[in-house]
Amino acid sequence: MPEGIVQEQVTAAIADAVAEAKRKGLLHSSSPPVCTVEFPKREEWGDLSSSVAMTIAKMEKRPPREVADLLAKQLEESCPFVDQVEVAPPGFLNLTLRRDFWFSVLHEIESKGETYGHSELVRGKRVLLEYVSANPTGPLHIGHGRGAALGDAMARVLRAVGYSVEREFYINDAGRQMNLLAASVYARYQEYHGSAVSFPEDGYQGAYIRTVAEHIAHTVGTQLLDLPLSEALEQCKVMACEELLEAIKQDLLSFGVGFDSWYPETRLFSSGTIRETLETLKQRDLVFEKDGALWFRSSRFQDEKDRVVCKQDGDYTYLASDIAYHHDKLKRDFDQLINIWGADHHGYVPRMQGVMQAFGYSKDRLQVVLVQMVSLLRGGRKVEMSKRAGEFVTLREVVDEVGADAAKFFFLMRRPDSHLEFDLELAKKQSAENPVYYVQYAHARLASLFRVAQNRGILVPPAGDANLTVLVQPEEFRLIKHLSSFPGLVEGCARALEPHRLTFYLQELAGHLHAFYYKHRVLPSREEGTTGPELDLGGMNADRGGVRAQESPSHELTTARLVLLRQVQTVIRNGLTLLGVTAPEQM
């Protein structure tokens, strides 16, 4: 599955071998099998392995071993870059490639540069990616932070494989929650002016409500006290919403998460879109009246029952807004809609996919990524939060404490659908225990190396001008092979909507880099006036842990290693960029 320049060619070679075997009458099955290659679990099993023989054997009803043998023979005869093929039971093909074939990876990275990892998996398909979409009733909390980091990374990953992505924030500025906000703010406003009032039940308790109320008081003085209640509340709502939305935008800005468009729910009301959309559905009998209310016939699709869209009191439900909003998205001509939601909304997915069907699309037109909860830890202890009392840790607090890079990386270290434990102390640690520092340090370490090289007048030539064949160490090949699988990894992230795979990939790549870097020298030892002989004792020291090779590499080897490391640095940077994390030159 790791598609890259090497993997692609090997996959094609296997497919050719299968076709050739058919021509010779050795194989018969009509449907061509999917020829996949993967890195074997053990290095002694070769460079790449494939299980195609087993799949074919099934179709042909023949022993896997037999099929594997004939494909192995075919590959060894006709494929120029395959050095050797071993067949391992029950029918694996273990391929060893010509060493120099791997160097094509380095040329590839150099020529692609910051687009290495990008592809044209889907060409120009349009995606609307909706995430965060918080109520403007308070600051973003860490749960929003996870959604924000995920959405931002997902947008980057999808763009990398060819999607045209629009990132949208749906502003939930209508409905009961906003009325509650208005009532809370108005109560604080009255308090500020000395009136003793009872605070609304279920009102927003947070201290920020007082701040907002004070700002309003400073702006309009006592004016609101003289207005009819409904008018005063309306004004509180508008002003509070504006201020809190602005704060949300600022929080996202300092977190480094961007949007292309902001879509207010209130627009759906004022423009009459909701009424029109429901009317359309009513004509198709997908919306109907019962018990003095309007219902969406979602049971027609995969929902367990029908749902109210317009209440007996005449107010629309949130579902009505969402139907209109998603109809609008569809009208904007996107090929795919993707929403990132908190996992507690999972029951809502079937009815929204029903909305897709109601408008004549497949339910898969809408994909929903569910994000699980975040628990904050401080030194291994859980930080208790109570939303009810308005005590929750905000995204801003976390970003201020650990930095945007660490916060994003930590949010992206787990599968979306799995609970996340976020250890604040760990995220701040400046050591190898902290994954984000470990990866960023790998990048900075290389940057530093290139600076030293430059100061000594050592140039890094284009890959084409270096003699790469002097790269023979296992640590060097581990790096090259890992680099080769990057494009396939990005594709996998896009297909599965799982950017977290990148964090694992980068930790592995950084690990290979640090291991190489510790064991092998790149630049010649400074003390030696002349370039000493190649004394690479790496292999000989293998049995003594932690002993560095006292090598002083030849000019040729220095050059080749610098070329290799240049590409490692590029891939680390590209990977971090896809996560929205910076790749520092210095730490």
**Of residues 399-438, which lie at the interface with RNA (CB under 7 A)?**
413-415, 417-421, 430-433, 435, 437-438
Backbone angles phi, psi at 162, to 5 degrees: 110, -5
Task: Give the residue, chosen from 523, 537, 554, 577, that forms a contact with RNA under the rule CB under 7 A.
Answer: 523
What is the Cα–Cα distance from 384 to 377, expressed in whole angstroms?
9
Q: What is the DSSP letter of 363?
A: G
Instruction: Give the length of the chain.
Output: 587
> In a 3-state reduction of DSSP, which class is residue 457?
coil
> Taking contact as CB under 7 A, which single stretch among the options 8-16, 70-78, 233-241, 547-555 is the one that binds RNA?
547-555
Angle, helices 435-455 vs 500-519, to 10°: value is 50
- Give the bridge partners for 287, in sequence order: 296
Residue 116, strand partner residues: 118
| 548 is a site residue for RNA (CB under 7 A) | yes
**500 binds RNA per the rule CB under 7 A:** yes
Residues of this chain, 150-179, that bind RNA according to CB under 7 A: 172, 174-177
Report how far residue 182's alpha carbon sits from residue 71's, in angstroms, rounded to the nearest whole number: 72
441 lies in the site for RNA, by CB under 7 A: yes
Binding mask 28-67 for RNA (x = CB under 7 A): --------x-xxxxx--x---x-x--xx-xx-----x---
Contacts of residue 394, defined as CB under 8 A and 6 or more positions apart, other chains included, come to: 139, 140, 141, 142, 251
Tell me the C-alpha distance between 60 and 57, whole Å: 5
d(CA 434, CA 406) in angstroms, rounded, equals: 9
In the DSSP assignment, the letter for residue 384 is P
The residue within the footprint of RNA, chosen from 223, 504, 539, 555 (CB under 7 A), is 504
Please tell me whether residue 135 binds RNA under the rule CB under 7 A.
yes
- Of the candidate residues 327, 519, 566, 573, the single one contacting RNA (CB under 7 A): 519
2 binds RNA (CB under 7 A): yes
Nearest to RNA of 55, 273 (CB atom): 55
Instruction: State the residue for tokens 């273990």.
Output: 94
Distances (CA, A) of 141 to 114, 344, 375: 33, 16, 11
Q: Who's near 360: CB < 8 A, 6+ residues apart? A: none
Q: Using the rule CB under 7 A, is 92 a contact of RNA? A: yes
Alpha helices, DSSP H only, in 193-228?
207-220
Subset of 291-310 contacting RNA (CB under 7 A)? 291-293, 304, 307-308
Q: Which is nearer to RNA, 137 or 190 (CB)?
A: 137
Q: How many CB atoms lie within 10 A of CB 210?
A: 16
Q: Should residue 4 be labelled a site residue for RNA when binding is judged by CB under 7 A?
A: no
Least distance in Å: CB of 57 to RNA?
7
Residue placing its CB nearer to RNA in the complex, 298 or 574: 298
| Binding footprint of RNA, residue count (CB under 7 A) | 101
Site for RNA contains 444 (CB under 7 A): yes
CA distance 517 to 537: 14
| Shortest distance, position 135 Cβ to RNA, whole Å | 5
| Binding of RNA by 313 (CB under 7 A) | yes
| Interaction of residue 540 with RNA, rule CB under 7 A | no
Nearer to RNA, 88 or 220 (CB): 88
Q: Which residue's CB is nearer to RNA, number 45 or number 81?
A: 45
**By CB under 7 A, which span of 151-159, 187-195, 511-519, 574-582 interacts with RNA?**
511-519
Among 266, 511, 535, 577, binds RNA (CB under 7 A): 511
Segment interacting with RNA (CB under 7 A) among 155-163, 203-211, 268-276, 546-554: 546-554
- Min separation Cβ 34 and RNA, Å: 9
Tell the smallest beta-carbon distance from residue 51 to RNA (Å): 4
Q: Which residues pair with 290 in a beta bridge?
A: 293
Binding status of residue 122 toward RNA by CB under 7 A? no
Amino acid type, 153: A
Using CB under 7 A, pick the residue from 518, 534, 539, 540 that binds RNA.
518
Q: Residue 76 CB, nearest distance to RNA (Å)?
A: 17
Residue showing tokens 């050591």: 431
Closer of 173 and 217 to RNA (Cβ): 173
Q: What is the 3-state secondary structure (H, E, C) of 486-554?
A: HHHHHHHHHHHCCCHHHHHHHHHHHHHHHHHHHHCCCCCCCCCCCCCCCCCCCCHHHHCCCCCCCCCCC
Whether the upstream peptide bond of residue 533 has omega within 30° of 0, thus cis, is no
Beta bridge partners of 165: 127
Positions in 247-266 near RNA (CB under 7 A): 265
Residues β-bridged to residue 367: 338
353 binds RNA (CB under 7 A): no
26, 445, 532, 535: residue in contact with RNA (rule CB under 7 A)? 445
Q: Which stretch binds RNA (CB under 7 A): 159-167, 216-224, 520-528, 573-581?
A: 520-528
Q: Which is nearer to RNA, 112 or 501 (CB)?
A: 501
